[in-house]
Amino acid sequence: MRIVELTESTRKNVLNDLLKRSPNNYTEYEDKVAGILANVKENGDEALFAYTLQYDKFQLTPENIRVTEEEIREAYAQMEPELVEVMKRSAANIRAFHEKQLRNSWFDTREDGSILGMKITPIGRVGVYVPGGKAAYPSSVLMNVIPARVAGVPDILMTTPPGADGKVNPGTLVAADIAGVDAIYKAGGAQAIAAMAYGTQSIPKVDKITGPGNIYVALAKKAVYGYVSIDSIAGPSEILVLADETANPRYVAADLLSQAEHDELASAILITTSRELADQVSRQVDDFVARLSRREIMEKSLDNYGYILLAENMEDAIEAANDIASEHLEILTRNPFETMTRIKNAGAIFLGEYSSEPLGDYYAGPNHILPTNGTARFFSPVNVDDFQKKTSIISYSQKALQAVHQDIEKFAESEGLTAHANSIRVRFEE
């Protein structure tokens, strides 16, 4: 891996490189995505089935678009029983973590007779998109569906592309069953996003769409935002390791590659105050890449977006980490908890040498659907709040309103909204 001194100039260069991977920069695909969305919106199943035949080489019909109970049973039969049990234990951890996020409606009653509050209600129907083929990740099914189920969403559907034989990845089906999906439809790409956003004869319209996908899926989600809610526009995966001289170089190298293997656009960055650690990590990375299965992908990822940044001190290192606002941030310092208190921007933080990033991906319980491309500066991981909506409650007695009505009238009149003022004033006419 390249080792560069961390300066103001190199920090800006790294940030610019990382931002090039944002879905917002792939505008050349927007017209094609817009055409797909418009066609499905107007023609429903007819367009959806035609796109599935064109891109997935499978002829959908109203009879075969929905995954059957028999297909789910077949999926279980194809899975190793031990892996199914692992997925169930992972689901239990995810459920337990997200149950702690639940909030209840609340009301505040005052002596003057006024009542203020917040009514919390689950979203009515959520659609989860799940990629197919080599990008099928059952762990993401659990991470999308379980928080929605914990939030109380009554209807959760899922779309995922079929293979040319009409089959769906068995791991995806088993994970969906464990998580509690209500219906699974064989549809992928921008056309599946359109189907969930607008509704077709076979797929009902949803209120919110979550889940990762390729650039077409990302741009489709961006385009339908407003017709429905979405979780976020996901970019390529990222890891940043913040380390001092106490870190184990073999662990650091292994963790960097855990994200570099995702795809050629993934980024893997080490920021360290130790030149010796930097050199050792670089050598360990080369050794691992030569032996691991996704060598070509990792090499391209590291060539394009892999860095070892050598900082003069930990203050500079932490400042750079906050600027980058990585999806995953591992802290491998002498006192990781103390370092963590100075971190402002990160999707998920992993503390200590036994808290490797894949622990969060698969098992610990916190959600692995995280903000990317620096959006951790203002976005949060997927959580229960994403699947609930809040409604304000306001109730004033005559006594409570009488004490403040002149203030409200004055405020309204200052904005030129005399009907607003009148709405209050008529209640206190002689």
Mean pLDDT of the chain: 94
> What is the distance between the alpha carbons of residues 123 and 389, in angstroms, rounded to a whole number?
6
- According to DSSP, residue 68 is labeled P
At residue 235, the pLDDT reads: 80
Helix (H, G, I), strand (E, B) or coil at 352: coil
| Catalytic hit among 328, 357, 368, 409 | 328
What is the DSSP pairing of strand 115-122 with strand 388-395?
antiparallel
Q: Kindly tell me if the per-residue pLDDT of 378 is higher than 90.
A: yes
Other Cβ atoms closer than 10 A to 372: 27
pLDDT band of residue 368 (cuts 50, 70, 90) is: very high
pLDDT in tens, 67-89: 999 999 999 999 999 999 999 99
Distance CA 46, CA 52 (A): 10
| DSSP secondary structure letters along 271-330 | EES-HHHHHHHHHHHHHHHHHSTTHHHHHHHHHHHEEEEE-SSHHHHHHHHHHHT-SEEE
Say if CB 323 and CB 282 are below 8 A apart: no
pLDDT at site 23:
67
Q: Region 352-361: what's the mean pLDDT? A: 95
pLDDT of 13: 85
Instruction: Tell me the residue length of the chain.
Output: 430
Query: Which pTM value belongs to this model?
Result: 0.92
Q: For residue 406, give Cα distances in angstroms to 115, 402, 409, 411, 417.
A: 20, 8, 5, 9, 14
Q: Which two tokens stand for residue 371?
A: 């903000």
Catalytic residue chosen out of the listed positions 261, 327, 357, 409: 327
pLDDT value of position 338: 97
Q: Which residue in 1, 103, 18 sits closest to 327, CA to CA? A: 18
Tokens of 184: 């699974």
Question: Confidence class of residue 386 from pLDDT cuts 50, 70 and 90?
Answer: very high
Q: Looking at residues 173-189, what average pLDDT do you find?
A: 97
pLDDT at 134: 67
Q: What is the mean pLDDT of residues 114-123?
A: 97
Task: Give the model confidence (pLDDT) of 1-57 as tens digits.
Answer: 899 999 888 888 888 888 777 766 667 789 999 999 999 999 999 999 999 999 999
In sequence order, which ranges of 153-228 are alpha helices (DSSP H)? Answer: 170-179, 189-198, 215-224
Residue 24 is predicted with a pLDDT of 65
Helix, strand, coil percent values for the chain (each to nearest 5): 50, 15, 35
Percent of the chain having pLDDT more than 90? 88
Residue 25 pLDDT:
65
Confidence class for position 185, pLDDT limits 50, 70, 90? very high
Sign of CA dihedral 294, 300, 302, 305: negative
Q: Are 66 and 181 in contact (CB under 8 A)?
A: no
Predicted confidence (pLDDT) per residue in 125-140, tens digit: 999 999 987 667 899 9
User: What's the mean pLDDT in 263-279?
Assistant: 94
What are the pLDDT digits (tens) for 138-164? 999 999 999 999 999 999 999 999 999
425 versus 135: the higher-pLDDT residue is: 425
For the chain, percent of residues with pLDDT exceeding 70 = 98
**Is 328 annotated in the active site?**
yes
